């Protein structure tokens, strides 16, 4: 009886009571509960977007495409993580927004935490000179991140790079940072 009350409390617009009883008879109470929960979560995640600050606090940058979240769900069985990813992702598209470039970037990192990010250290020591418009900024307690800058030097996007490999940092900067005229 308790399960029936929970289902009805969470699902008025999703399934009619007649349809719920029909499905309950076919699948048992737990199957219906699972369907209802999945339906509620899919509706909630598709309509709810988090702010960029909330996404950053969760470890998402806003750079992920929603198709990446779907791929993530195939490998990670953490529904909450996938749900958070879907709230922070950008819809896949082939329009001009995917071709946005920036005039420069700040690589912000805490000097004390650098030992935990050997790929970032490797990039700074060996590759950073390829990008004269990318500056390293040491900020106490800051996780490694790229702060993308527009023509006026204003921050436009912040991307956490904690788990990026050196090659990924290189590829991203080659695609997203405009080359200087002397390059």
pTM of the model: 0.51
Contact status, residue 107 vs residue 146, Cβ threshold 8 Å: yes
What was the pLDDT predicted at 29? 52
What was the pLDDT predicted at 89? 83
CB atoms within 10 A of CB 32: 23
Top-confidence residue, 52 or 117: 117
Average pLDDT of the chain, as a whole number = 76
Contact status, residue 41 vs residue 33, Cβ threshold 8 Å: no
What's the mean pLDDT in 169-175?
Answer: 93
Top-confidence residue, 85 or 140: 140
Query: Is it the case that residue 134 has pLDDT exceeding 80?
Result: yes
Top-confidence residue, 42 or 88: 88
> Which positions ≥6 away from 103 have C-beta within 8 Å?
133, 149, 150, 151, 153, 177, 178
What was the pLDDT predicted at 167? 93
Domains contained in the chain, CATH given: 2-88 (no CATH), 100-176 (3.40.30.50)
Q: How does residue 94 score in pLDDT terms, banded at 50, 70 and 90?
A: low
Contact status, residue 135 vs residue 107, Cβ threshold 8 Å: yes
Query: Is it the case that residue 156 has pLDDT exceeding 50?
Result: yes
What's the mean pLDDT in 123-127?
Answer: 95
Tell me which of 20-24, 61-65, 156-160 is least confident: 20-24
**DSSP class per residue in 95-110:** SGGGG--BSEEEEEE-
What's the mean pLDDT in 102-126?
Answer: 95
pLDDT tens digits, residue range 65-84?
Answer: 787 888 888 888 889 988 98
């Amino acid at each position: 009886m308790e399960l029936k009350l929970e289902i009805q409390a969470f699902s008025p617009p999703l399934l009619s009571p007649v349809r719920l009883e029909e499905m309950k008879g076919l699948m048992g109470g737990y199957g219906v509960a699972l369907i209802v929960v999945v339906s509620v979560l899919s509706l909630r995640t598709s309509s709810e977007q988090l702010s960029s600050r909330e996404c950053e606090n969760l470890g998402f940058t806003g750079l992920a495409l929603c198709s990446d979240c779907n791929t993530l769900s195939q490998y990670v069985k953490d529904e909450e993580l996938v749900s958070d990813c879907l709230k922070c992702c950008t819809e896949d598209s082939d329009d001009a927004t995917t071709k946005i470039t920036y005039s420069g970037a700040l690589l912000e990192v805490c000097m004390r935490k650098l030992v935990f990010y050997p790929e970032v250290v490797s990039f700074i020591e060996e590759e950073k000179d390829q990008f004269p418009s990318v500056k390293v900024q040491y900020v106490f307690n800051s996780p490694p991140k790229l702060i993308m800058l527009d023509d006026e030097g204003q921050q436009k996007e912040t991307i956490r790079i904690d788990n990026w490999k050196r090659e990924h940092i290189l590829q991203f900067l080659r695609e997203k940072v405009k080359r200087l005229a002397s390059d």
